[in-house]
Amino acid sequence: LVMGSEGEGIPQKALAKCDECIGIKLKEGWDSLNVSAAFAIICDRMIDE
């Protein structure tokens, strides 16, 4: 699992090596989540699958 920074995201070199890319839909007016919140959401969704 590769997580990018709020401002810069994931560097293209790292992204090119990933098998899959997923994202989190945000509510209107939200620009980003901090990486620990995003990680917790992704882990929760992976466990549910």
So what's the pLDDT on residue 27?
Answer: 92
Number of domains in the chain: 1
**Mean pLDDT of successive 10-residue stretches along the chain, which has 49 residues:** 84 94 90 89 88
Does 19 fall in a domain? yes
Does 3 fall in a domain? no
Question: Are 34 and 6 a contacting pair, CB within 8 Å?
Answer: yes
Which structural domain, as residue segments, surrounds residue 27? Answer: 12-48
Does 6 fall in a domain? no
- Tokens for 49? 């699958």
Reported pTM: 0.68
Does 41 fall in a domain? yes
So what's the pLDDT on residue 17?
Answer: 96
Rounded to 5 degrees, what are φ and ψ at 36?
Answer: -70, -40
So what's the pLDDT on residue 39?
Answer: 92
